[in-house]
Structure 1
């Protein structure tokens, strides 16, 4: 891993890369996290990037944007495994850089899912902060360990700070007269996870479980079915899986 460049030059590259990103939807604020993830991957030369919001509560990890579908799956797999680099970054408050061997040692459940479901073998994770307080993580996915060793750490840290700045600014914006709380990108990203929380409530109503125990039940079923926690949660809420049978 290397360190080079100046903050000003990185900011210019980031701004240019962000401007070049084509929005997926209507070009509004809802596309912001996806555009930021693609921008981070472009600036840093990584295979992909993902952005998630986190709190100290175990259920409150919310993927909000990814540069491609494979990165979106990798972000989901961290929640399914209940472990991974972004959770570690939020806990310790500083970046982590993990190759294949290190991931297998630190997060074996996530490592196994990641290797089976994606082409990524290394990951760098950077904390996202607002006025010194951590609120999320930027995950950078790489297809080989050489890519991790060649990552410019200074550029990566500055890029993480820029992503955080854009997210916090975007969270302050509200459509005029909308009467809706929260930014558009947050509401859109939260919908699948809200379904999972609803499924957890259904399990708690059927079994003598607390929220964390119900989440573990859904995670085990997701691993058994080689799918994601949110997919199992959606199946429970839809009635395709009976909460009483879990």
Structure 2
């Protein structure tokens, strides 16, 4: 391996470790966008578009407000490289938004922000599409072949790190939910001298009557020591 290739390999090994060390989803997203802006040739501004559970797309992090505005134009017009990338995994490069005819409505709007070049990489794993890494520049022809290759490597590392952070967050949320429901069930067991299954059934019934998520109701019970009025449970009189 040449010294240049070794330097690049070492740099991205560090990138992979840094991403996995971020911990939270938000910190991971911020690290990805910061790395893109600093490591991908031609990139001035970067951001992440995420696909929500309901299919909606949003931009939770961006290195500059310009990214947020440009991404929002893609969402509102229904056009742009980000949306195409999310659906077909290709890397989309725009050398001059004013001359690119693929997304005319979006291109006309984003050019007004001063954007001239763009590049989008899908963030995906074998299991799911997570979103898209969007790179912007105010210069024409900002992204060359090297930029594309570095962007692809970064996007691959970023997708793995993001998926890991999201999974960790779901596990923490599940553990917190279980803990809260357990505490709430314990309160009902102690107060009404009933076994655990009956106490849990009371909690579920109250959740259904109030049309409230079980975790949210458990939070209220733990914090206040009583089920809300209208639950039709033992605490309905306070």
Using the size of structure 2 for normalisation, the TM-score is 0.60
Cα distance, 1:107 vs. partner? 0.8
Q: Deviations over 1:153-182 (max 9, x none)?
A: 2211101111111210110123475439xx
Q: Partners in 1 of 2:108 and 2:98 — Cα distance?
A: 12
The 1:115–1:101 alpha-carbon spacing in structure 2 relative to 1, beyond 3 Å, is closer
The 1:101–1:73 alpha-carbon spacing in structure 2 relative to 1, beyond 3 Å, is closer
Counterpart of 1:147 in 2: which secondary structure? coil
**Alignment-derived partner of residue 223 in structure 2:** none
Q: Partners in 1 of 2:72 and 2:145 — Cα distance?
A: 26
Aligned mate of 1:105, from 94, 98, 101? 101
**Alignment-derived partner of residue 165 in structure 2:** 170
Cα distance, 1:114 vs. partner? 0.9
**Alignment-derived partner of residue 129 in structure 2:** 134
Greater relative contact order, per chain length (Cα 8 Å cut-off, separation 6+)? 1
Aligned mate of 1:146, from 138, 141, 164? 141
CA RMSD of aligned residues (A): 3.3
Q: Deviations over 1:186-213 (max 9, x none)?
A: xxxxxxxxxxxxxxxxxxxxxxxxxxxx
Q: Partners in 2 of 1:56 and 1:98 — Cα distance?
A: 29
The 1:55–1:119 alpha-carbon spacing in structure 2 relative to 1, beyond 3 Å, is same
Question: Is contact 1:104–1:112 with CA below 8 Å preserved after alignment?
Answer: no
The 1:158–1:103 alpha-carbon spacing in structure 2 relative to 1, beyond 3 Å, is farther
**Alignment-derived partner of residue 84 in structure 1:** 80
- Tell me the number of residue pairs that the alignment of Structure 1 and Structure 2 aligns: 170
**Alignment-derived partner of residue 186 in structure 1:** none
Instruction: List runs of 5+ in structure 1 lacking aligned partners.
Output: 181-246
The 1:170–1:48 alpha-carbon spacing in structure 2 relative to 1, beyond 3 Å, is same
Q: Partners in 2 of 1:103 and 1:13 — Cα distance?
A: 38
Question: Is contact 2:34–2:63 with CA below 8 Å preserved after alignment?
Answer: yes
**Alignment-derived partner of residue 125 in structure 1:** 120
Counterparts of 1:43-82 in structure 2 under 5 Å?
43-45=39-41, 46-54=43-51, 60-82=56-78
Structure number with bigger Rg: 2
**Alignment-derived partner of residue 9 in structure 2:** 8
Of stretches 130-139 and 77-86 in structure 1, the one that deviates more from structure 2 is: 130-139
Cα distance, 1:133 vs. partner? 3.9
Q: Deviations over 1:22-47 (max 9, x none)?
A: x9xxx954333123211111111410
Counterpart of 2:58 in 1: which secondary structure? strand
Using the size of structure 1 for normalisation, the TM-score is 0.58
**Alignment-derived partner of residue 92 in structure 2:** 96
